[in-house]
Amino acid sequence: MAILVKASGLTKKYGDLVAVAGIDFEIREGECFGFLGPNGAGKTTTVRMIHCVSPVTSGILTVGGMPSGINNRGLKMITGVIPQEINLDNDLTVAENLVVFARFFDIGRREAKARIAELLRFVELEAKAGSKISDLSTGMKRRLLIARALINRPRLIVADEPTTGLDPQARHLIWQRLRQLKTQGTTLVLTTQYMEEAQQLCDRIVVMYQGRILKEGTPASLVEGEIGREVVEIRVPPEDDAKILGHLAGFDCAHERVGDTLYFYCREGHGLMKKLLELDLPNTLNRPATLEDVFLKLTGRSLHE
Ligand SMILES: Nc1ncnc2c1ncn2[C@@H]1O[C@H](COP(=O)(O)OP(=O)(O)O)[C@@H](O)[C@H]1O
Ligand SMILES: [Mg+2]
């Protein structure tokens, strides 16, 4: 598959602060590529360089073979942006917000009208075309941002935390639409703090932390490689650890104590669960390993505030 976005030694500094610290990645045409990381990891900074609104400090970044740069109108023409902040124009209606963008891309009036009708249908906002932005729910505003990002029929869509703050219904609708775009051949670059979102949408992800890429791979390969297939959680006080670990000696599972929980990371948890039955513990859970386990292992379990 052809490479659409290529970064090598990509760096962004704000004064002394290194927001992106010399990262390398390649995004293939037609895939969904995810930047996963906590607040402040450098996700937004990275994608802002990809869609040419933030200049690169050093390193190389190309999109479609062209060097990224803030004056690169050619790149802006093939890119659609769903920003992290909801930056709709509150003085305009839903449809008018799209008209403004159609003008920026030099789309003729009649063509713009047709595209706007089609896009409002796509994001299920056709009944809201004449509404003020203040009358929309957060989910509707986020859907309108998607419609706006599509007005120029982009080859590349950059979605920066597209579902932050949404309830499950609203989030699932956005996932449906993003997957639909991918099916139609659009390349998607997604940033998210939600592991489930990355698992639902992304073909490949990088885990970012403090401006660096810690790991790269498919969600499944990262889970399997870093954690294993299954996790057993036992909610017991730390005083019980010695007894439990002694009882489970011989099982080839890594373990970790975090707060009130003792975790075991295993290829499969069934045998361990069976052995645990002999101890008659109240709160034990055997579940599939997830990207969240990978994320917490790589970035630590402390708060990032
Ligand atoms: N315009 C800016 N000026 C100064 N510092 C910034 C600016 N934008 C982002 N930063 C800093 O760069 C780092 C990465 O931020 P950001 O890319 O927004 O992370 P993320 O999107 O992963 O939460 C943070 O420490 C943030 O405070
Ligand atoms: Mg961000």
Q: What is the pLDDT of residue 178?
A: 95
- Domain residue spans in the chain? 3-223, 228-288
pTM above 0.75, yes or no: yes
* Ligand 1 contact, 45 CB (< 6 A): yes
Q: Is the CB of 38 under 6 A from ligand 1?
A: no
What residues contact 56, with CB distance under 8 A and at least 6 apart?
A: 10, 11, 12, 49, 68, 69
Inter-residue contact 285 to 266 (CB < 8 Å)? no
Mutate to test the pocket of ligand 1, among 45, 56, 207 (most ligand atoms within 8 A of CB): 45
Superfamily for 3-223? P-loop containing nucleotide triphosphate hydrolases (3.40.50.300)
Looking at residue 305, its pLDDT comes to 44
Reported CATH class of domain 228-288: alpha beta
Q: In the structure encoding, which two tokens stand for residue 86, read together?
A: 């909801």
Ligand 2 mean position, distance from CA 38 (Å): 9
| Size of the chain in residues | 305
Interval 199-215: pLDDT, tens: 999 999 999 999 999 99
Residues of the chain scoring pLDDT < 50: 304-305
pLDDT of residue 301: 62
Spatial separation of the C-alpha atoms in residues 161 and 278, rounded to whole Å: 45
The number of the ligand 1 atom at minimal distance from the alpha carbon of 161 is 21
